Structure 1
């Protein structure tokens, strides 16, 4: 409780009131504090595009027009879908929340939308609202649920003027943008009133029409009024806009731009999240075999924590509703690691030493966790920190290590047999 109160005071001091009057509720601030502690979530990209096995952008990359694309929907019949299996898989991996695509760029709603028949209930043979089942399973097993929603829509006729994508969809050369904004807000109202507590809305697609009048103030106020605790984030690849509650980075750690999406984005004062895939694509891709190893993903989780960020790890379920075995196996391996070492990331903040080539630091109270990810020498120099080091030990085993404080930092003698660990964690306490 003390941490939440202190964080609340800090957040209230950092809020930008110049561009828009937005004062987060106490429930929202409490949710932000939870978000900072959570560290690890499951991203799910799932839609009728999975039937084609070519990822979620297939309508655009294959230049499929709307009339042809609509023929895919009747083939989507995920009879093997089991919401509880998904939730338990995530929980076993050490994940604290799930973010799922409710509508991607193809405009197809993966829930029972009353404002449109372009949805899972009206166009598929399955005719079940998967969000209802997933929300119930998350509540049962104490995982929070976020909804991804694409502001970009290749299917809706009023998404006009056209953006930079979706030009092969065959939509008429006219439309009413105000009608589309109303449509989007009505769908968001459905999502925020029919599925219990929603932890947040994860927006995507703003980048398709950067100069458009998105009326974000109107949309963000709607969300915060319907669910005051809900966190709003947007994958617009920019510094957060007024009314947003967390900042996200696509395929990048905060402050980096290896994925090429974060060039215009500066780190703000809000909670952070980085999203990455388990292979190459987000949606199910039959030929995508670029699987990331257990080591790569665990180290990415650790690096994210060292950057004071959450890690949202994506899976693209198959059209039958199952998660492919390669992903389940790796998530199980990650879960074995989080059960043993999760204490060094959950509930922590970035440590006193900025991320280094060798690894990162996290901190909880007076304890600093030094995560050594790449190091071959038995002598390790921990850069100098403000407070004197009084003890160094191996995390978990509590084996004390020899160390010496110097003017450049603390030289620590590492056990040779642990140098090839995925993450060699030292527990350093300071006076």
Structure 2
């Protein structure tokens, strides 16, 4: 009884300090939750998230071939893997390497182009599946310094130029290596034999030691053991403690999850993640016979991809494939410039903006930058009306960004904006909403009750992530969080009772109203959890996560059928 009384006293104090003012203007009758998606609590990973948008470069011996072998286009597979798809003998492939001059590789121009596009970092292929190192290495003479007419280290040149121009720098590194002994495998799912480990370790130490500060290390493919994943990632972390490691080191040992090629998630994801995208989905390496058409449509598609990924909290890494001589394809240059032009027309809408908790809307996506809420309208409503549900913050004004003011009104907690018949920006129009304060929202699954909340599974929002069992084919989407949002008419102490099935020996964190309780799975589904404080006239999230997950994608392991929150 004393504990409950103390909790009520605390609740009363909190009520006095957090209830919203209703003195002027529109105010939601309910105070919403913060609407900005948080960055990772880990400083290194949060710094990587702030990079937001980067340039990926696939360049190697395969670029010299341009997707053609013996005079014929190789139409199967990505062109950077042409040696496998065309079954090219290594002796013939080495002959191609001997002729690589790369005399038009211009790091300064590449970095300037990346900055013009609004990118903040550059990642280049240091070694792809063919095993040919595009950097100087003592582990083999199968590298650009020793085996080509170029004779320089382009990775070093690019790393130095990135620093001069204020860009982050990263390297792609394939764990598949046909030169070191991996057999051709259409899925690139080869295990890493022990005999290959010294070369991998040696090359990683070289890359992590001789190229200045590294922002990102992008491993790719193969199916290493957990011990190998930890060993290779450990080299990076010892030598480059600020570098973020992607999930294709496998066995859930990376710092962020790399999604599938060109994948934009259908649902918002918890944790840190990245979409790797290519200007042409058909290939990453240069393809001489690639169709390059509809420049405005290509710019629009990629701007929509960028806005969608950023609105959902991911980083966007967009690829170009230079020719064998190192020159950037003119069409790709024009695409990057077009993306940059759009960003300059809408400063703050993507770069520097944060993801929001609105989720995808029928008309598009939303980002926020301070008190400016940006609505990226991918589908211009034919009705002339754009509706944003659940906005709990006062609105000062609304503009079509770059084109002037728009009429708007409130419909409960919805913002309704009147749009012209056609937008000014034909790439991706943006509606800019100036807010009176911090962004707060009323989630769609908010449940209001006075004393007792009877919740079923549909009242809970799932938080999603990804996990793998050591390879690309084993990657799967996981549920890592369950959240219901409660609103009360009066302050009260409450207990939560859950019905369903949990991993009985796992430890779960149940959070409600700023208070967290850690219980076993057995206790979670067998007894009331609490006490908690539910404050009046504000959304109070009830959230279940693993108390100490092994990695951000570890499955919650909870089937939740229903729940009751009551005194």
Superposed, which structure 2 residues align to 1:203-218 within 5 Å?
203-206=219-222, 209=223, 212=225, 215-218=228-231
Most deviating of 181-190 and 287-296: 287-296
Residue 339 of structure 2 aligns with which residue? 334
What is the SS of the residue equivalent to 1:368? strand
Aligned equivalents of 1:81, 1:402: Cα separation in 2: 51
Which protein has the larger Cα radius of gyration, Structure 1 or Structure 2? 2
Residue 196 of structure 1 aligns with which residue? 212
- Whether 2:280 is the aligned partner of 1:250: answer no
Quick check: 1:391–1:400 contact (8 Å CA) kept in 2?
no
Residue 52 of structure 1 aligns with which residue? 65
- Residues 350-383 of structure 1 show CA distances to partners (whole Å, capped at 9, x for unaligned) of 2232112421001223432111111143532323
Deviation at 1:395, TM superposition (A): 5.4
Aligned equivalents of 1:304, 1:394: Cα separation in 2: 23
TM-score by length of 1: 0.82
Indicate the structure with greater helix content: 1
Deviation at 1:334, TM superposition (A): 1.4
Residue 237 of structure 2 aligns with which residue? 224
Query: Which of residues 287, 290, 304 in structure 2 aligns to 1:288?
Result: 290
Residue 20 of structure 1 aligns with which residue? none
Residue 99 of structure 1 aligns with which residue? 123
Deviation at 1:58, TM superposition (A): 0.4
What is the SS of the residue equivalent to 1:343? coil
Residue 66 of structure 1 aligns with which residue? 90
Aligned equivalents of 2:231, 2:110: Cα separation in 1: 34
Query: Which of residues 156, 165, 181 in structure 2 aligns to 1:141?
Result: 165
Distance 1:64-1:397 versus aligned 2 partners, 3 A rule: closer
Quick check: 1:246–1:273 contact (8 Å CA) kept in 2?
yes
What is the SS of the residue equivalent to 2:93? helix
Aligned equivalents of 1:254, 1:186: Cα separation in 2: 35
Deviation at 1:290, TM superposition (A): 4.9
Aligned equivalents of 1:95, 1:354: Cα separation in 2: 24
Query: Which of residues 346, 351, 358 in structure 2 aligns to 1:353?
Result: 358
Aligned equivalents of 1:205, 1:341: Cα separation in 2: 37
Aligned equivalents of 1:411, 1:395: Cα separation in 2: 13
Deviation at 1:308, TM superposition (A): 1.1
Quick check: 1:394–1:427 contact (8 Å CA) kept in 2?
yes
Residue 426 of structure 1 aligns with which residue? 431
Distance 1:233-1:97 versus aligned 2 partners, 3 A rule: same
Residue 19 of structure 1 aligns with which residue? none
Residue 17 of structure 1 aligns with which residue? none
Query: Which of residues 21, 28, 41 in structure 2 aligns to 1:11?
Result: 41
Residue 262 of structure 1 aligns with which residue? none
Residue 151 of structure 1 aligns with which residue? 175
TM-score by length of 2: 0.63
Deviation at 1:318, TM superposition (A): 0.5
Q: CA RMSD in A?
A: 2.6
Quick check: 1:378–1:415 contact (8 Å CA) kept in 2?
no
Aligned equivalents of 1:426, 1:136: Cα separation in 2: 39
User: 5+ residue gaps in structure 1?
Assistant: 1-5, 13-28, 168-174, 258-265
Aligned equivalents of 1:256, 1:107: Cα separation in 2: 35
Deviation at 1:268, TM superposition (A): 4.8
Aligned equivalents of 1:202, 1:245: Cα separation in 2: 11
Residue 367 of structure 2 aligns with which residue? 362
